[in-house]
Structure 1
Amino acid sequence: LRPLRHFGQPLAPTPTADYPPRASRFPGGQRWRSLDQALQRVVAERNAVISQWWELFGRTSRDPLRIGGAGPEMVPLPGGSFLMGSANGELKRENDESPLRWVTIRPFAIGRTEVTFAQYDRFAKATGREKPDDEGWGRGDRPVINVSWHDAQVYAQWLSEQTGQRYRLPTEAEWEYAARAGTQTPFWTGGCIHTDQANYDGNYGYNGCGAKTGVHRRRTVPAGSLPANPFSLHEVAGNVYEWTEDCWHDSYAGAPDDDSAWLEAGGGNCARRVVRGGGWDSAPRRLRSANRSEYTTDKSYSYVGIRLARTL
């Protein structure tokens, strides 16, 4: 409960970036002179989300499997609206994080941690699939790695059959909503991040904010071993990138304004899917909540894993 102590008080916006000239336009076409109203809406949405989430807190669940045991621990999240992407003034932002826009999310559940080797290995044993390589770092509670997007899909389908629930990869919008947990800062931790909070390459900095610690673990850490975000989700920044359902697009131009996956429409490249969150070998800028990357669906990597969603 420690990360949640401050939610008893209303939240106020704290500027964390330099914004573009007033001549620039804000998402939706209004000019930047309406920034104050937009920020007030962000705060109102955040407070509403946190209020709803408090009512759900403690109801995390693990669905029983037909073969015995239980699936991943899932955290139910309330619906809400949030600003997806990054503002022009956010440091180290990239063009594919634009345009910044409002997105509405329905309630859903998401894994409290990344899927572990223990969870995935149970599936592999039950289905006769080859177990992925752990790079010599150990299995058990470490996040499963060296799994492709297609592997993640098969695992989600198996869990659905085992539990009678609909497990799936989160959409890109759902992922960012869950990772932000009501924040609008570059990281869920605020304007900076530290290797005590996330697993990344601390030989790189982020605007001199203290992210450059010199600590580089050079491997994954066990799931749930680093602090959780305000939604009680661990390692949403760093450790391993996480597959999402969405096909790759070079920007958000024409993207849905809801929680649906953005697939072929708008020129999406579905041979490459969006991954989020950054990994153990990433510079801190890759751990920003808005940062996007993409990888080939039939390839697997030592720095990409899985966090599942479940439809409510």
Structure 2
Amino acid sequence: MSTTWNVTQWTGMTMIASRTSKSLLFSSSLTILVGCDTITNWYATEMVQRNMDNMVLVEGGRFMMGNPGGWSVRKDTVPVHEVELDDFYIQKYEVTQEDFEIFVEASGHEIQARFYEDKRNDSPERFAPELPAPVSWHDAKAFCLWLGEQADRDVDLPTEAQWEYAAKSRGQTVRYATSDGSLHPGQNINEGSTLSRPGIDQELPNSPGTYPPNPLGLYDMSSNVGEWVNDYYSPDYYRSSERVNPEGPEAGKLVTVGPGIEEPERVMRGGHYQDLTGSTTVTRRQVPESSVPLNGGFRCAVNQLAPNGKD
């Protein structure tokens, strides 16, 4: 749903906006953090508005979560189990590097990823403004929570179950989250490498929205970048998952990430641009939560349709 907002006045560092069409997700004013200059405020407000307007309603329901057989070689994608979800919204596009940097500037957020600047210096082309933002789980979650604070909505990373349900267009039996559930490199998915196309290795992901969306209207949920979800990773979680609105295990396995440093792993979904055949709607990947995979990114979800604190 598209909404146009016109800035009508300033009150201190608070931007007051008037609505010119109906919006499900926004109240009639947005407050950007005190201490930002006028230009930063304008960009931040526009960014928040645009990201919220790009939320797609996913009507809840029941579906069979997991690998029905042959879709993934990973043992952590079984057993198939029934899950029931409430309604939620999810962003139609992956968050771009430009929008992530606007968030950092407007909020004063301190990057929590390990070796973030080193990776930016080594691979500056991967951090181009129009590409999906490669960030740690901590930084992705911080973006979504801040977005929710500005819009007065319960915004967070999607749960793993929400992500799969949306990628499958409300739980349909589709192997890939493309326009027709199959792979057509260069037509409905990027030109990244597949087992049947040796020697082809795409160096960068595409800008969000380059290829057609899945039937639910969501872009790039297969193959562009792996996407952080909220859940801790456990290889056998599917054997004990809650049936209604599962939120993942209470803790993740600790892994060593440096001398004397351990941290839990989180789940990434969606595969990535260098492994098309591994980009199914059921494939899971575990990554330490402060890592910055260059083939990773994220999108946010809205779990509460009314303003925070209201019914």
CA distance in 1, matches of 2:278, 2:174: 14
Whether the aligned pair in 2 keeps the contact of 1:188 and 1:289 (CA below 8 Å) is yes
Note the C-alpha offset of 1:187.
1.6
Partner SS state of residue 186, structure 1 = coil
* 2:270 is the counterpart of 1:290: no
Go from structure 1 to structure 2 and tell me whether the alpha carbon gap of 1:59 and 1:83 turns closer, same or farther (over 3 Å shift).
farther
Work out which of the residue numbers 101, 110, 127 in structure 2 matches 1:121.
101
Where is the strand percentage greater, Structure 1 or Structure 2? Answer: 2
Work out which of the residue numbers 151, 172, 195 in structure 2 matches 1:204.
195
**1:15-30 to 2 correspondences below 5 Å:** none
**1:1-312 to 2 correspondences below 5 Å:** 65-67=30-32, 68-71=45-48, 72=51, 73-88=54-69, 90-129=70-109, 133=120, 135-137=124-126, 139-145=128-134, 147-181=135-169, 182-189=171-178, 192-196=182-186, 197-199=188-190, 201-205=192-196, 212=197, 215-251=200-236, 252-264=238-250, 271-282=264-275, 284-311=276-303, 312=305
Partner SS state of residue 272, structure 1 = strand
Aligned residue pairs total 245
- Could you tell me which amino acid in structure 1 is paired with residue 270 of structure 2? G
User: CA offsets per residue over residues 117-156 of structure 1, 9 Å max, x none?
Assistant: 12111111113346863631463332111x1001112112
Note the C-alpha offset of 1:195.
1.8
Structure 2, unpaired ranges of 5+: 1-21, 33-44, 255-262, 306-311
- Between the aligned residues of both structures, percent identity stands at 29
Structure 1, unpaired ranges of 5+: 1-57, 206-211
Note the C-alpha offset of 1:107.
0.3
User: CA offsets per residue over residues 10-35 of structure 1, 9 Å max, x none?
Assistant: xxxxxxxxxxxxxxxxxxxxxxxxxx
Whether the aligned pair in 1 keeps the contact of 2:25 and 2:151 (CA below 8 Å) is no
- Could you tell me which amino acid in structure 1 is paired with residue 79 of structure 2? P
Go from structure 1 to structure 2 and tell me whether the alpha carbon gap of 1:70 and 1:61 turns closer, same or farther (over 3 Å shift).
farther
Note the C-alpha offset of 1:168.
0.3
**What's the Cα RMSD here?**
2.6
Note the C-alpha offset of 1:219.
0.1
User: CA offsets per residue over residues 224-263 of structure 1, 9 Å max, x none?
Assistant: 1111001100000011100011111113111111223112
Single out whichever of 188-197 and 235-244 deviates more from structure 2.
188-197
Go from structure 1 to structure 2 and tell me whether the alpha carbon gap of 1:106 and 1:115 turns closer, same or farther (over 3 Å shift).
same
- Could you tell me which amino acid in structure 1 is paired with residue 190 of structure 2? N
What TM-score, normalized to structure 1? 0.71
Partner SS state of residue 232, structure 1 = coil
Whether the aligned pair in 1 keeps the contact of 2:84 and 2:244 (CA below 8 Å) is yes
CA distance in 2, matches of 1:123, 1:79: 30
Whether the aligned pair in 1 keeps the contact of 2:93 and 2:209 (CA below 8 Å) is yes
Go from structure 1 to structure 2 and tell me whether the alpha carbon gap of 1:168 and 1:91 turns closer, same or farther (over 3 Å shift).
closer
- Could you tell me which amino acid in structure 1 is paired with residue 193 of structure 2? G
User: CA offsets per residue over residues 207-229 of structure 1, 9 Å max, x none?
Assistant: xxxxx386533101111111100
Whether the aligned pair in 1 keeps the contact of 2:26 and 2:151 (CA below 8 Å) is no
Whether the aligned pair in 2 keeps the contact of 1:149 and 1:297 (CA below 8 Å) is yes
Partner SS state of residue 239, structure 2 = coil
Whether the aligned pair in 2 keeps the contact of 1:240 and 1:279 (CA below 8 Å) is yes
